[in-house]
Amino acid sequence: MNLELSPAEQAFREQVRAFLRDNLTDELRRGQRETSSMYPEPETSGPWQQALQRQGWLVPLWPQEWAGTGWTAVQRFIFETECALAGAPLVHPMGVRLVGPVILRFGTEEQKRRYLPRILSGEDYWCQGFSEPGAGSDLASLKMRAVADGEDYVLNGSKIWTTHAHHANMMFALVRTSTEGKRQEGISFLLIDMNTPGIEVRPIATIGGDHDVNEVFFTDVRVPQANRIGAENAGWDCAKYLLEFERGAGIFSGRLRSQLKRVRDAIGELEASGVDVRGDGRLVARFGEVCADLDCFEMMELRIMGALQPGQSPGPVSSILKLRASRLKQAIAELGVEVLGGEALRWRRESAGGSVLPVLVPDYLNSRAYTIFGGAAEVQLGIIAKSVVGV
């Protein structure tokens, strides 16, 4: 495996760095830096999405006829790593990385023409309606019904842990359209206008103090059957394809390295105030272990991503990336709390004012969910055992 960038790749990296210098404002950088929840708020992610769209760099995973970049996996790695290390906001992925690829693969031409431009422009802000109170890791057990009535479906039921539903004007959801056969065979994939009568969004306060997720209730909600992606009862295929992108089509190592940089910045802040962090040998050793673990993960990610063609998802290997990235995320967040020491016991969620210290504890608390959402660690281990190891 050649780890040296070619002259063309080095030139591309300089092009990305120049774009970041010209477009990444201090305000956007601060918005991402002070984010302790999974995604930054729309006022932070939205302007950055627009800047990427103007540059033509918003959707590297899409085909070029639909504004894709045609980048190689190495170019994607360079781009996402440089963005993360520069402190660029994380673009809300529900539209560009999740439902967009599903529409491209399973949608009709009419659906592509209607929804894809609105995803690119940011006109539609999406949330994901997968999890239910009794269907999270065991997604096939979902119960929210969609009953055909004329040209519509009538929806009744609820979704939970719906990230940014309070911001979204559109939801992509899995609904039960049949109870016959295997559980996976009675599910359909629908696109739902969140302004439809009968939809109620209720906030869930997370342990980290953020409003990131919600409950969403549906009472006699009418959704046109024309909003179904793929055939009726074939939504499980859409879901599996989407989850491969959710778990593995992103570049994790750059964001993880950015998170580790935030811990390093916290050490600098504490030492500037007279706290001797580096004098704690155990903590220094732990920092080194996390750095080494991250280096190993980055090499693994490069090896996997380097074998992919533009627009191709990693398949079942995405479970390995998702599992390792989730655990590394938690390890880095734990390191941040250890750096704070006894100060971590004091709740301070006041405005950060440029300091990263108030973000570390909420980030640690919220990181507990990373080995649950997007498929729990136990689910990923099962997929790895069955599809990768073959046992």
How far apart (Å, rounded) are the C-alpha atoms in residues 356 and 36?
10
Can you tell me which residue has the tokens 């980030």? 363
Amino acid identity, position 320: I
Nearest to 99 by CA among 110, 113, 114, 115: 115
56 phi and psi angles, rounded to 5 deg: 80, 25
CB atoms within 10 A of CB 179: 10
Nearest to 18 by CA among 83, 91, 81, 87: 83
Query: 155 forms bridges with which residues in the sheet?
Result: 146, 221
164 phi and psi angles, rounded to 5 deg: 60, 25
80 close to 251: Cβ distance less than 8 angstroms: yes
How far apart (Å, rounded) are the C-alpha atoms in residues 96 and 261?
27
One-character DSSP codes across 161-220: S-TTTTT-SEEEEEEE---SSSGGGGEEEEEEETTSTTEEEEEEE-TTS-EEEEEEEEEE
Amino acid identity, position 96: V
CB atoms within 10 A of CB 26: 10
Nearest to 190 by CA among 120, 99, 112: 99
- Catalytic site includes residue 246: yes
Amino acid identity, position 279: G
How far apart (Å, rounded) are the C-alpha atoms in residues 1 and 306?
10
Query: How far is the CA of 78 from the CAs of 4, 83, 105, 301, in angstroms?
Result: 12, 8, 26, 12
> Which of 80, 246, 298, 301 is an active site residue?
246
Q: What is the set of active-site residues?
A: 246
